Structure 1
């Protein structure tokens, strides 16, 4: 269900309505919020009632010039959404709707906002930036173009939000021994065996073995 009602008429989200919704799961609801000021106490309470009724909530936001085309405003919005138990889902480039050209931003503006969020806040707070392509092309996701630096049969060179590069190897498919998958659960208490199973690993910036390069997982947590 897509609706603006929880944000524009929160008193409509009564306990009686929520009790009725519980009878028809699974139900998912995408709400529409463009600015953090829309998330009043009444709106947050309405979202809470829906969440308590077992309805996963997402948010769709349209990028609007002079309203939310600033990284700090967008960061406030996505944080307030999470506090209201609403997951930021889509950030839309404005449609080509007659009479709304003064609200349209450049595509670069949206990419800069995503870049300002990625790595600088929780991944839960980063929406998908999409263009609903004219002519019925559907939603096409966009990402800043600097994350994938190079890709070939040997692996991928990746750049993170700190502008640091990392190598992720492709799986071996030419008859050579493929490295076994080792997860955090199997590595606990078996550190030496897990390292040996991974083979040669790439060092991280501090010189320690980088689990994420060959085994998956997070080096900082291990």
Structure 2
């Protein structure tokens, strides 16, 4: 049994000079990158560099991680906490927005820093990197004292930045809480840093008493390098189901060809498409934002051309932490109190069919 995955070929890119050295930007752009870096964290792993098809700034992988001076432009509707984490935080690290589940933000660092991140004001190497032991105790005590909590969603930052030892300890401690039945890891690691998904790590997050899921954040099919595919297979082969999280992003996946390829790639790698997120109102992200109407049109295209197994649910997080809203166009409507259904040809037909 392999104890380790293939090691990264070269260090993570963290500075303007790193991007220049890899030929991913010009020396003239270093000033802009440094200006953005003074406010927001920067990191792009070697696996994502390998996934770049074209070193033009509009490459769909590079665009996700190459800092842009546009990030320093904030629009009036943008918020430091766009989905309302803070008002729903009873103890540090816990977000209890929905009755039967909580987020446990165990770390505030990531292997990469997406330029559109909705928590970009809260994460980065200059933040509190990890909950302190007493804070972890308080967070787990909160979960243990609320029997309505059925699912714990590990997020951050990226929870798979934990060492195997810490990940195993966290799994064991959650296993000891009887009313918690599901542990869900939200991560970029399998595509961003696949060498971290070792047999040891998979074993660390595996549970024999709880259902464990891994939700993979990926936005373009090109992210699935051979190493990334192997990392995902290692998880699935160990009996850990995987689901997907994707953000609809201008210039990255805002066309039917790119979204279709991504959803098919998920399914081909035994990952069930779950959510397609409309981008949140995070500061400095307006250049990634598309309209909901465009998103609905793309969803129509997916539903009309792909297997149902490949079709995600299109959602918008209502600002303030209210809930997600499902914004997929409906194929059912009532006209004169009679049900009509829409077919793939776009025509509405009475149901049951009207007889002559």
Q: Same fold (TM over 0.5)?
A: yes
Aligned to 2:189: 5
Q: Secondary structure at the match of 1:27?
A: strand
Which of 281, 289, 292 in structure 2 is aligned with 1:107? 292
Q: Which runs of 5+ in 2 are unaligned?
A: 1-184
Alignment match of 2:345 (pick from 151, 154, 162): 162
Q: CA deviation at 1:152?
A: 6.8
Q: In 2, Cα distance between the equivalents of 1:33 and 1:120?
A: 21
Q: Which of 39, 51, 54 is equivalent to 2:239?
A: 54
Q: Which of 316, 334, 356 lines up with 1:150 in the alignment?
A: 334
Q: 1:65 deviation in Å?
A: 0.5
**Alpha-carbon distance in structure 2 between the residues aligned to 1:103 and 1:158:** 34
Question: 2:272 maps to what in 1?
Answer: 87
TM-score (norm 2): 0.45
- Measured in 1, the distance between the counterparts of 2:196 and 2:351 equals 50
Q: Describe the SS at the equivalent of 2:227.
A: helix
CA RMSD of aligned residues (A): 1.8
- RCO comparison, higher one (Cα < 8 Å, 6+): 2
Partner of 1:173: none
Instruction: Give me the whole-angstrom Cα distance separating, in 1, the residues matched to 2:335 and 2:235.
Output: 44
TM-score, scaled relative to structure 1: 0.71
Q: Distance in 2 between matches of 1:40 and 1:128?
A: 25
Q: Is the partner of 1:119 in helix, strand or coil?
A: helix
Q: Distance in 2 between matches of 1:116 and 1:23?
A: 39
Structure of larger gyration radius: 1
Q: Which residue of 2 aligns with 1:76?
A: 261
- For the pair 1:39 / 2:224, whether they are aligned, the reply is yes
Query: Could you tell me how far apart the structure 2 residues matched to 1:156 and 1:57 are?
Result: 36
Residue-by-residue CA offset, 1:46-93 (whole Å, 9 max, x unaligned)? 111111111111111011111110011100010111111111111111
**Structure 1: unaligned runs, 5 residues or longer:** 170-201, 204-222
The runs of 4+ residues in structure 1 deviating greater than 6 Å are none
Identify the match of residue 207 of structure 2 among 23, 29, 34.
23
Q: How many residues align?
A: 169
